[in-house]
Structure 1
Amino acid sequence: MSIKLSVVSQDPLQIDADVAVIGVPEGATTKEGILAKLEDALGPVVSRIVKREDFTGKKDQTLDLQTLGKLPAQRVLLVGLGKATVTDVEVRLLAAKGARFALGAKAESLAIALPEGVAHAARAAAEGVVLGGYRFTAFLTGDRIPKTKLARVALATTGRVSKAERDGAALGQKVGEAVCIARDLINTPPNELYPEKLAKAAEDVAKANGLECKIFDKAQLTKRGMKLILAVGQGSARDPRLVHLTYKPAKPSKKKLVFVGKGLTFDSGGLCIKPAQGMEEMKGDMGGAANVVALMAAVAAVKPHVEVHGIIGSAENMPDGNAYRPGDVFGSLDGKTVEIINTDAEGRLVLADCLAYARSLEPDLILDNATLTGACVVALGPTVSGFFTNREELAEQFRTSAKAAGESTWQLPLIEELREGLKSDWADIKHTADRWGGSITAALFLREFVGDRPWIHVDIAGPSLANKPYGIYPKGGTGHGVLTFLRLIDELS
């Protein structure tokens, strides 16, 4: 999606646009502010509509007004901001709602009023426009291809437009487009996106953004002893891959951050095969890897003063005659032997080798993210990621970053008593325990492979895919987590 985006010093109602979007604080009336202004321009019909719809600017309220040629803007969408202080989060959401509305209205041009007093409003709004205006059309043909697209967006401010605002908007657009890389990858069908293709997509992003890229194929994984990744992929005709992306700042940094993503391009469950219902969603089991690719593109745009690495372990979990089995025992890059209990718990095996590889880089932080457990969705619902950490100070930093990004997360505990369930009679460790506390035992298993490194594990199984649009997210792949990780990098650098 290519949008021509600008920041202008102009009344949004006076911009020649198909739709003008304006945020309205709670308590608004037609006697003052934007509602009074609209009443002057459009007449008493505004009061009648406001009363009929009981529009007062409450959070998530919207009101669509046709201007009937009385204003340069053809339609006005009022969006309730609620009572809370407006921050980047609300501005991003306002812009996303406006862009999504514009798509539904077949609008080609959009004007958005930037709320006053928000330091990075232009960047947040630009992010929101791209995220709200996203749609995945790669496999549509003929009449299914949308006839119109959102081509021009003006971000309107009352004051003089500064260079910082223009630069912020340009950066916000790049960050939004980076998040959409994750969405595209998640939405791509598994016959078109398999480990080799995912690695190629990561390599293309690296080339386009000046990042270093290393790809390990089956032979290199075998040589390095990454037996767990190989085990998961051995039932598929498609060989696994490991991808290592690197961003280095202009001035060398002593701090090093590593982000790891699970990249199961399709997960049938292997021999412990999944039920047919819902299995089509398993094309999205590489949401963590997609997030890492998107994050590295965003990092290249933001250019933080810290070294950042992105590591992706990618495989396809299939049930042929060579597939790994319950009862098998495999070694790992870490050296530990692992007893296989359930072949549908494959993601933690891939991550284990990736985490051991990440540990060898001696980073200041390892963060992995993965569509790992249904148990996390049961615990927190479909819109919230669960996170675990072995450092309490990291927990607070992650919470702060998620809040600033407007993404829903909740800390879950590493309960030591549940570690008992991972004890094996035949190997160093089992890879699954009892059903209860499944997301916790998965995190405890992963912890075995990070050593003493500061570590955060983020289970994005719920919000990585959405079954309907909400907030800044579309139906399908969301890229949930990328904005949080980007804020965390800023926090740590």
Structure 2
Amino acid sequence: MKITVKKGSLADVKTEAFILVFCEGEKTLSGPAADIDRKSGGLIADIIKSGGFEAKPSQVTMIYSRTLAAKRIALVGLGKKNELTPEKIRRAFAKVMQELRGSKVRKAAVSLDLSLLNVRKEKVVSAAVEGAVLGLYRYSPYKTVGREELQDVQEMTIVPGPKDYALVRDEVQKTKIIADAVCFARDLVSAPANEMTPSILAEQARVVAKRKNVSCRVLEKGQMKALGMNALLGVAAGSDQPPKLIVLEYTGGKKGEAPIALVGKGLTFDSGGISIKPAEKMDEMKTDMAGGAAVLAVIRAAADLKLPVHLVGLVPATENLSGGSALKPGDVLKSHSGRTIEVLNTDAEGRLILADALSYACRYKPSAIIDIATLTGACVVALGEEVAGMLGTDDRMKKALREAAGETGELIWELPLWDHYHELIKSDIADYKNSAGRLGGAITGAAFLSKFVGEYPWVHLDIAGPAWTTKDRGYIPKGASGIPVRLLMEFLQNRVQEKK
């Protein structure tokens, strides 16, 4: 969807629908709403007076006019003004754009008078754009029947107050880049596994690397073998698809600046291997590369924004299948770090491929390491489907990520990583075992990963729950969510501001 920012009066925009936002309890129309009401013959005032529109959160009421350039007026509720949050704005804009799409509207224009709302101006704009773009997302490249019905809103014009034009223009441009990156991540995760193999994911990384200051290296099987990445290669052994270690680097920061390493799990399909998963919902295991997709999307967005940071993104990409050469329970692997791992469960494979990628990330001497992975079902059991688990060794970074999540509406919750959990991953015959059983599984999984990050500041995000949703949730339609791309971009932008 194209988004433009235009000076002047909302009523003068040539479009198919006007969007007006209201807070609950507003008795008097003002600004663009009063202008549109007057030119429509009092339609807005009449419906408010009759109780047909109360401006409840995400309430959308459609009015039809014969006297305006636009045939439709969409009244959008934001709830009580003193309870307004960016999240409510996101949800409201997602709802109205979905309603307009259902009405076959292709062009819409919205008035954003930022002086009337009590949320910081930049956040009003970003939330509106995020809600509109992300709420309209749908994955339909394989639809052939009824494709002509899949029409979207193609253009949204934003008309700000006269003093806010530059602010709105700049914020729209920035937010659109990030929202498009989220949709890119959603596309990668939604793709069927036969269309998103490790090799295809690597090609997507090479496309990202066409941007300025971005480079891409893809380590092949022979190179990984020479580097001793036997944990990653062990997981890949059961598949005919060759594994890849994707390394994207964005050098937007100062010369010599230590990078932030982003490591994303890239299991393009996970059957569980010999420790095979149940057939029910196994189709959803195409989503086991959501962490890797997020890394590619963040590098893309950072480059498009010309963010002054140095990033290294690593994505160990493979399938986990049960072929004749597959890893077996009881096997012992020597990882890239030199540490040995007893494999008790081949379905605890994500931590194996991440072990080698995290160890390799240490070569870059990063200022911080963040890994993103659909790591454990145990995290979903503990926190539910909408919340990501967070564990790590650096309190400052965890605090910064919590604050970023508070701004973006992505839910994360810290879990403990106390010493006794580390005892649970010790092996009788090797250094570590890749499974400590069901109890505390999200934590013992993170404890395992912590053995491969050296002394570098590290945080682990377990996105097994929120990476995929089985029902529509406002601006997160059913399917891939794109979490935690916005969270990480907020974190990086805040980090840049702190350095100024």
Q: What TM-score do the two structures reach when normalised by structure 2?
A: 0.91
Please, which of 192, 197, 210 is the counterpart of residue 194 of structure 1?
Answer: 197
Residues 233-242 or 126-135, more deviating: 126-135
Identify if the C-alpha distance between structure 1 residues 346 and 250 changes in structure 2 by more than 3 Å, giving closer, same or farther: closer
Distance in 2, matches of 1:50 and 1:239, equals: 66
1:119 — aligned with what?
Answer: 121
Distance in 2, matches of 1:457 and 1:444, equals: 10
Identify if the C-alpha distance between structure 1 residues 209 and 467 changes in structure 2 by more than 3 Å, giving closer, same or farther: farther
Identify if the C-alpha distance between structure 1 residues 255 and 492 changes in structure 2 by more than 3 Å, giving closer, same or farther: farther
Give the deviation of 1:68 after TM superposition.
3.0
Q: Deviations over 1:108-145 (max 9, x none)?
A: 10112224144324444334332222222211225235
Give the deviation of 1:156 after TM superposition.
1.5
1:12-411 → structure 2 map (5 Å cutoff): 12-29=10-27, 40=38, 41=40, 43=42, 47=46, 51=50, 55-60=53-58, 62-83=59-80, 84=82, 86=84, 88-117=86-115, 118-120=120-122, 121-160=124-163, 162-249=165-252, 251-252=254-255, 254-411=257-414
Identify if the C-alpha distance between structure 1 residues 384 and 73 changes in structure 2 by more than 3 Å, giving closer, same or farther: farther
Identify if the C-alpha distance between structure 1 residues 460 and 256 changes in structure 2 by more than 3 Å, giving closer, same or farther: same
Distance in 2, matches of 1:255 and 1:81, equals: 43
The question of whether the paired residues in 2 share the 8 Å contact of 1:224 and 1:333 is answered with yes
Distance in 2, matches of 1:23 and 1:346, equals: 48
SS at match of 2:68: coil
Give the deviation of 1:66 after TM superposition.
2.3
Counterpart residue type for residue 106 of structure 2: E
Give the deviation of 1:357 after TM superposition.
0.9
SS at match of 1:304: coil
Distance in 2, matches of 1:18 and 1:416, equals: 61
Identify if the C-alpha distance between structure 1 residues 404 and 253 changes in structure 2 by more than 3 Å, giving closer, same or farther: farther
Counterpart residue type for residue 426 of structure 1: I
Identify if the C-alpha distance between structure 1 residues 382 and 421 changes in structure 2 by more than 3 Å, giving closer, same or farther: same
Paired positions, count: 489
Distance in 2, matches of 1:19 and 1:44, equals: 15
Residues 146-155 or 459-468, more deviating: 146-155
The question of whether the paired residues in 2 share the 8 Å contact of 1:382 and 1:462 is answered with yes
The question of whether the paired residues in 2 share the 8 Å contact of 1:98 and 1:112 is answered with no
- 1:455 aligns to 2:446 (yes or no): no
Distance in 2, matches of 1:341 and 1:115, equals: 59
SS at match of 1:285: helix
The question of whether the paired residues in 2 share the 8 Å contact of 1:29 and 1:35 is answered with no
The question of whether the paired residues in 2 share the 8 Å contact of 1:9 and 1:160 is answered with no
1:8 — aligned with what?
Answer: 6
Identify if the C-alpha distance between structure 1 residues 267 and 122 changes in structure 2 by more than 3 Å, giving closer, same or farther: same
Identify if the C-alpha distance between structure 1 residues 6 and 44 changes in structure 2 by more than 3 Å, giving closer, same or farther: closer
Please, which of 468, 472, 483 is the counterpart of residue 469 of structure 1?
Answer: 472
The question of whether the paired residues in 2 share the 8 Å contact of 1:125 and 1:155 is answered with no
Give the deviation of 1:51 after TM superposition.
4.9
Residues 152-161 or 354-363, more deviating: 152-161
RMSD: 2.3
Distance in 2, matches of 1:115 and 1:442, equals: 48
Q: Deviations over 1:209-235 (max 9, x none)?
A: 541101011111111111111111110
Residues 66-75 or 406-415, more deviating: 66-75
Distance in 2, matches of 1:28 and 1:37, equals: 16
SS at match of 2:339: coil
Distance in 2, matches of 1:466 and 1:18, equals: 32
Distance in 2, matches of 1:128 and 1:472, equals: 5
SS at match of 2:210: helix
Give the deviation of 1:104 after TM superposition.
2.2
- Structure 2 unmatched ranges of 5 or more: none
Please, which of 417, 420, 424 is the counterpart of residue 417 of structure 1?
Answer: 420
Give the deviation of 1:202 after TM superposition.
0.9
Q: Deviations over 1:407-431 (max 9, x none)?
A: 1111111132222221211110011
The question of whether the paired residues in 2 share the 8 Å contact of 1:195 and 1:239 is answered with yes
Residues 32-41 or 441-450, more deviating: 32-41
Distance in 2, matches of 1:21 and 1:48, equals: 15
Distance in 2, matches of 1:115 and 1:285, equals: 42
Identify if the C-alpha distance between structure 1 residues 218 and 228 changes in structure 2 by more than 3 Å, giving closer, same or farther: same
Identify if the C-alpha distance between structure 1 residues 22 and 386 changes in structure 2 by more than 3 Å, giving closer, same or farther: farther
Distance in 1, matches of 2:74 and 2:19, equals: 5
The question of whether the paired residues in 2 share the 8 Å contact of 1:29 and 1:56 is answered with no
Identify if the C-alpha distance between structure 1 residues 167 and 235 changes in structure 2 by more than 3 Å, giving closer, same or farther: same
Distance in 2, matches of 1:382 and 1:155, equals: 34
The question of whether the paired residues in 1 share the 8 Å contact of 2:62 and 2:72 is answered with yes
Q: What TM-score do the two structures reach when normalised by structure 1?
A: 0.93
2:434 — aligned with what?
Answer: 431
Distance in 2, matches of 1:15 and 1:4, equals: 15
Q: Deviations over 1:337-371 (max 9, x none)?
A: 00111111111111111111112211111000111
Distance in 2, matches of 1:164 and 1:5, equals: 15
Identify if the C-alpha distance between structure 1 residues 250 and 271 changes in structure 2 by more than 3 Å, giving closer, same or farther: closer
SS at match of 2:329: coil
Counterpart residue type for residue 361 of structure 2: A
The question of whether the paired residues in 1 share the 8 Å contact of 2:211 and 2:304 is answered with no
Distance in 2, matches of 1:98 and 1:216, equals: 45
Give the deviation of 1:174 after TM superposition.
1.8
The question of whether the paired residues in 1 share the 8 Å contact of 2:261 and 2:314 is answered with yes
The question of whether the paired residues in 2 share the 8 Å contact of 1:98 and 1:132 is answered with no
Identify if the C-alpha distance between structure 1 residues 106 and 261 changes in structure 2 by more than 3 Å, giving closer, same or farther: same
Distance in 1, matches of 2:212 and 2:279, equals: 39
1:486 — aligned with what?
Answer: 489
SS at match of 1:286: helix
SS at match of 1:207: coil
Q: Deviations over 1:263-310 (max 9, x none)?
A: 110011111111111111111111000111111110002222221111
Give the deviation of 1:391 after TM superposition.
1.5
